[in-house]
Amino acid sequence: MQNYVGGAFVVPDVPVAPVYDPSSGEVISRVPLSSAREVDAAVRSAREAAPAWAATPIKDRVQVFYRYKALLERHLDELAALVTEENGKIASEARAEVLKSAELTEFSCSLPQIVTGEVLEVSRGVECRVERFPVGVVAAVTPFNFPNMVPNWSIPNAVALGNCLILKPSELVPLSARRIAELLEEAGLPKGVLQIVHGGQEAVEALCDHPDIGALSFVGSTRIAKIVYRRATANLKRCLALGGAKNHLIVMPDADREMTASNVIASMSGCAGQRCMAASVMVAVSATDHIVQRMVEHARAMVPGRDVGPVISEAARERITRYIDEAEAAGATVLVDGRHARVPGREGGYFLGPTIIDHVTPDMAIAREEVFGPVLAIVRAKDVDEALAVENASPYGNAASVFTESGGIARRVMERANAGMVGVNVGVPVPREPFSFGGWNDSKFGVGDITGRGSIELWTQAKKMTTKWNREAGVNWMS
């Protein structure tokens, strides 16, 4: 892989790391591990492009994104195949990811309608107006689990709002970023407005430290989100850092059996459980065995390699397996066991089948920590308040859901769940544009959100202008 600086793909003189296909374990590419020098080159190029791009009217800037959206749709199959190759997602999930990128881009095209500013005559002849201006040079650091979509959480909005952006993709999945750059170039994005710097910790630290970067978005694990947020803000940058998750789904005995079972299983197993919105703990309230039984049937029917893709690495598979082993040793019951999944012809792949573990207690690691695999821990509770107490004990706060036919119970959970995104009878409660994506607590550090209207605050700065004109005299003056 190459970095992308000033509209050209360049090979930096730095060490490289192998990139693996998770469904075969084979090396498919090599990624440069850029240093502060490569980050600085990208920042210089972005700084050169910034004044002209900021001065381009927003209605002209978004024309690039109308064309980019059409290109994402035209190249859907090819882009989805890249996601599958580097991340392992099954074809339908990879296509859904790219279509989500198109939807995110569609929102960016509506920004001229949204950032119109404000104006008011506040006293006779005195007018206050607020206009939003780009920050300048900004950066986005992204994780492995959505190689196409998460870069598109930041690029269309930040760039349509007039910034020049440096993307640092996950070094585990660097392939999609290249096509994103190529398609944006084809859509007419001027050279230097987008740069790609590949790498890991060293590159991210250089982005946090660089004095000419004004704002940085980060998406990844909570441990790294805290490090990046602290470092970027200590360097006086704006930063929005999204972290990991531990999402709880509360299932009430009155929940629709079929709908609940299929939604919970889809949530825990989709993208091999490697979604920050994946169901991780089901809190089963009172008499819910009939629903658990149906979930078991669904999970057993799923075929690894066909219905569930691999996890990202051998290390991830070992970590996930360890959580299951420890819970079982501590007395939990493994109802569906995906630990020994093998896919014929793809023996080198990092596959795990969907796994359901019942009678997990809230103190077990599998109930407290982010597992990030196709694993569902079931914790039993006697009523909705006990279930909420389990949910709210988590330091994370991305998503929470309740499955019930009772409006009162649904309302109670919506009000009391300590999470930024709450669902009722929805397994993956991702808000769609124009609503914003973002959790609470240890799932997000910083103000604002990563998508939708909530991102405008991160990527722009408001200028407040007060003007006074003496209309009577026919001459003007200002104070």
B/e letters for 316-340, b = 16+ CB within 10 Å, e = fewer, are: bbeebbebbeebeeeebeebbbbee
Q: Which is nearer to ligand NAD, 109 or 276 (CB)?
A: 276
Within residues 179-238, the interface with ligand NAD by CB under 6 A covers 200-201, 204-205, 219-221, 224, 227-228
Within residues 147-166, the interface with ligand NAD by CB under 6 A covers 150
Tell me the C-alpha to C-alpha distance, in Å, between residue 291 and each of 270, 296, 306, 458: 19, 9, 24, 43
Strand order in the sheet with 137-141: 8-10, 3-5, 194-196, 164-168, 137-141, 215-219, 238-242, 444-445
* Residue 145 touching ligand NAD (CB under 6 A): yes
| Element of type H or E holding 46 | helix 36-55
* Residue 143 touching ligand NAD (CB under 6 A): yes
Q: Catalytic residue, from 164, 208, 271, 276: name it.
A: 276
CA separation for the pair 147, 168 (Å, rounded): 11
* Residue 170 touching ligand NAD (CB under 6 A): yes
* Residue 49 touching ligand NAD (CB under 6 A): no
Q: Which is nearer to ligand NAD, 225 or 285 (CB)?
A: 225
Long-range contacts of 224-228 (CB under 8 A, 24+ apart): 225/444, 225/445, 226/445, 228/141, 228/204
**Cβ of residue 38: shortest distance to ligand NAD, in angstroms?**
14
Task: Dig out the tokens for 367 from the structure.
Answer: 């109930």
B/e letters for 87-101, b = 16+ CB within 10 Å, e = fewer, are: bbbbeebbbebbbbb
Task: Dig out the tokens for 13 from the structure.
Answer: 């003189």
Q: Which is nearer to ligand NAD, 62 or 281 (CB)?
A: 281
Q: Identify the residue among 53, 372, 403, 445 touching ligand NAD (CB under 6 A).
A: 372
CA separation for the pair 231, 247 (Å, rounded): 27
Q: Identify the residue among 12, 244, 304, 349 touching ligand NAD (CB under 6 A).
A: 244
Q: Which is nearer to ligand NAD, 115 or 456 (CB)?
A: 456
**Cβ of residue 277: shortest distance to ligand NAD, in angstroms?**
8
Q: Which is nearer to ligand NAD, 85 or 205 (CB)?
A: 205
Report yes or no: 2 and 32 within 8 Å, Cβ to Cβ: yes
Report yes or no: 381 and 358 within 8 Å, Cβ to Cβ: no
Q: Identify the residue among 21, 38, 171, 442 touching ligand NAD (CB under 6 A).
A: 171
The CB-nearest residue to ligand NAD is 220
**Cβ of residue 266: shortest distance to ligand NAD, in angstroms?**
18
Q: Which is nearer to ligand NAD, 93 or 171 (CB)?
A: 171
Residue 276 is a catalytic residue:
yes
**Cβ of residue 272: shortest distance to ligand NAD, in angstroms?**
12
Q: Which is nearer to ligand NAD, 5 or 141 (CB)?
A: 141
**Cβ of residue 66: shortest distance to ligand NAD, in angstroms?**
26
CA separation for the pair 391, 281 (Å, rounded): 9
**Cβ of residue 439: shortest distance to ligand NAD, in angstroms?**
6
**DSSP state letters, 269-338:** HGGGG-STT-EEEEEEESS-HHHHHHHHHHHHH--BTTTB---S-HHHHHHHHHHHHHHHHTT-EEEE--
* Residue 443 touching ligand NAD (CB under 6 A): yes
Question: What is the identity of the amino acid at 361?
Answer: T
Q: What is the largest CA-CA distance in the chain?
A: 87
Q: Identify the residue among 20, 144, 229, 459 touching ligand NAD (CB under 6 A).
A: 144
* Residue 370 touching ligand NAD (CB under 6 A): yes
**Cβ of residue 280: shortest distance to ligand NAD, in angstroms?**
10
CA separation for the pair 332, 370 (Å, rounded): 18
* Residue 446 touching ligand NAD (CB under 6 A): no
CA separation for the pair 289, 358 (Å, rounded): 10
Q: Indicate the length of the chain as a whole number.
A: 479
B/e letters for 54-68, b = 16+ CB within 10 Å, e = fewer, are: beeebeebbebbebb
Q: Which is nearer to ligand NAD, 86 or 358 (CB)?
A: 86
CA separation for the pair 243, 226 (Å, rounded): 8
**Contact mark string toward ligand NAD, 262..281, x via CB under 6 A:** --------------x-----
**Cβ of residue 201: shortest distance to ligand NAD, in angstroms?**
4
Size of the site for ligand NAD (CB under 6 A): 29
**Cβ of residue 409: shortest distance to ligand NAD, in angstroms?**
27
Task: Report the interface residues with ligand NAD, using CB under 6 A.
Answer: 141-145, 150, 168, 170-171, 200-201, 204-205, 219-221, 224, 227-228, 242-245, 276, 370, 372, 398, 439, 443
Catalytic residues: 276
